[in-house]
Amino acid sequence: MVQALAKAEIHRLNPDGTPAGKSLTVQFNPNEYTLVKGAKIAQIPIFGIDSPILQFVAGTSETMSFELFFDSTEDGTGTEAKPVTKRTDEFYDLIKIDGETHAPPVVLFAWGADTFPGHRRPDSQSRHGFKALVEQVRQRFTYFSSLGVPLRATLSLTLREYKTLDQQIAELNLRSPDHTKAHVVQTGETITRIAQKTAGDPRSWRRIAEANAIDDPFSLAPGTQLAVPPEV
């Protein structure tokens, strides 16, 4: 029995990660895709030694790049030709600003979910697709009708992985007490509750307030990012 060909899809997502609207299915699957992950490394020069000391500063967001091919010549190439842009425009719109969120949408590239690179990681880091923002779309039209209607196109897309601060903290599972932690204020949270949650002691609220130059520690706006310094 011949297995049906699985097509790659790109899903728009709501802020909570649930699907938003219609998914986009590629006309032809990409021949390949490239994943790139890097790190920022500081070079600390020490007088009298041959090479600088290397210090990890932070990771960089992972990128995914691939090309998609589109063809509308099945409808003819003469006066009856239909522009390939009817298909490509949907993908190009992924980089356009959404009227409600005032930003391009968060998307999920899904293809081969059970074998996508990273699916074997620990539970907190396992992934079955690539959640991202579309960073760049390059459109190259390569074939036209006699009237100049574009009939074939190749789109080069670059996606940059999207992760919330809370998601990254959960994935890293940082437990060392001698490093500054980060916390995003949730609706209804008080600074004493945050101190209990992040430092294990509600009396640590003063240290958190001082580290973040908070004038009114009992009036925190949801979404505010706080630095939680280690206890000295």
| Per-residue pLDDT at 33 | 95
Please report the pLDDT score of residue 214 as a whole number: 87
Residue 155 backbone phi and psi in degrees, to 5: -105, 125
Does pLDDT of 2 surpass 60? no
Side-by-side strand order, sheet with 24-25: 24-25, 9-13, 106-110, 130-144, 150-161, 63-71, 33-36
Residues of the chain with pLDDT > 70: what percent? 89
Q: Is the pLDDT of residue 36 over 90?
A: yes
Cα distance between residue 191 and residue 30, in whole Å: 49
Could you give the CA distance from residue 117 to residue 36 in angstroms, rounded to a whole number?
Answer: 12
Grade residue 221 by pLDDT with cuts at 50, 70 and 90: confident
Q: pTM of the prediction?
A: 0.69
DSSP letters spanning 12-31? EE-TTS-B-SPPEE-SS--S
- pLDDT, tens digit, 9 for 90 and up, residues 3-29: 667 899 999 988 777 788 789 999 999
CA angle 111, 173, 34 (to 5 degrees): 30
- How far is the C-alpha of 225 from the C-alpha of 219, rounded, in Å? 14
Q: Which residue has the tokens 């500063």?
A: 57
pLDDT band at residue 162, thresholds of 50, 70 and 90?
very high
Q: Which domains does the chain have, with CATH numbers?
A: 9-167 (2.40.30.200), 174-228 (3.10.350.10)
Mean pLDDT, all residues of the chain: 85
Instruction: Mean pLDDT check: name the lowest of 20-24, 41-45, 88-92, 184-188.
Output: 184-188
